[in-house]
Amino acid sequence: MTKARTRKGRDAEATKQDILAAATVEFSRKGLGGARVDAIALRAKANKRMIYHYFGSKEKLFTAVLEEAYGSIRSAELKLPLAEIEPEEALERLMHFTWDYYLAHPEFISLVNSANLHKARHVKQSERFKTSGPPFVGLVKSILDRGVAKGVFRTGIDPVQLNITIAAIGYYYLTNRFTGEILFEHDFMSEASLAERFAFNLDTILRLVSRHQAGEQMTGK
């Protein structure tokens, strides 16, 4: 309401965002090499020239897309109210958040793959990544610390490794689901399959961090 913009193209910031959104889709679907600037312009309903006006080049646009993508998950993560709840539940919530974010933003996974295919060259060039503020691993570390203090988590668990493992067991399942479905002759994306996978992952992590192991199965399906 407040933003009674013309919406017919004369809004610089809106155009820029349209391009960024379109580029996110294209890059995540085709990769950096396979994405077409023309296709991005078409999808953004913007003139191709505007892409160069606002972003300079295809590569710089890719960098901007990565900045946006990492920025989004980061700020969403920081909004999680994990400090106020018990460490066991906080860990579960964090895993839920990660898993749900991957499911809601499949383009994020593809973009991370693309970024790494190019050895994170674009991320390294970025200014915005340099000022990324508090260490990424902070959330997990504080949960671990609180769990140890409470006596429910083991000591000596490296928060970086745990962080990576939490990401890995969700990420890998989703990004490689296409070859996975062929190799394992298993449906990866049905609601039941997704629930099953999340439960398995939660179990994996809880067994990894718990001080005492509670029998055959720790979580119900």
Chain residues that interact with DNA, rule: CB under 7 A: 6, 8-12, 14-15, 35-38, 46-50, 52-53, 57-59
How many alpha carbons fall within 13 Å on the CB side of residue 121?
8
Q: Binds 46, which of DNA, a second copy, none (CB < 5 to 8 A, cut-off by type)?
A: DNA
Q: Binds 145, which of a second copy, DNA, none (CB < 5 to 8 A, cut-off by type)?
A: none
Shortest Å, Cβ 123 to DNA: 18
Contact in structure between 140 and 159 (CB atoms under 8 Å): yes
CB contact set of 81 (below 8 Å; sequence gap of 6+):
none
Q: Binds 117, which of DNA, a second copy, none (CB < 5 to 8 A, cut-off by type)?
A: a second copy
Q: Is 12 in the site for a second copy (CB under 8 A)?
A: no
Neighbours of 117 (CB within 10 A): 12
Which residue matches tokens 């296709």?
39
Q: Is 5 in the site for a second copy (CB under 8 A)?
A: no
Binding segment toward a second copy, per CB under 8 A, in 39-47, 49-57, 84-92, 168-176: 168-176
**C-alpha 27: how far from chain center:** 15
Shortest Å, Cβ 116 to DNA: 20
How many alpha carbons fall within 13 Å on the CB side of residue 183?
6
Angle at the Cα of 156 from the Cα atoms of 152 and 160, rounded to 5 degrees: 105
Q: Binds 161, which of DNA, a second copy, none (CB < 5 to 8 A, cut-off by type)?
A: a second copy
Q: Is 167 in the site for a second copy (CB under 8 A)?
A: yes
Task: Tell me the backbone φ, ψ of residue 189, rounded to 5 degrees.
Answer: -115, 5
Which residue matches tokens 């390294």?
124
- In the three-class reduction of DSSP (H, G, I as helix; E, B as strand; rest coil), residue 153 is classed as strand
Q: Which of the residues 13 through 32 are near a second copy (CB under 8 A)?
A: 30-32
Residues within the interface to a second copy (CB under 8 A): 30-35, 110, 112-117, 119-120, 123-124, 129, 132, 135-137, 154-156, 158, 160-161, 163-165, 167-169, 171-173, 175-186, 196-197, 200-201, 203-204, 207-208, 210-213, 216-217
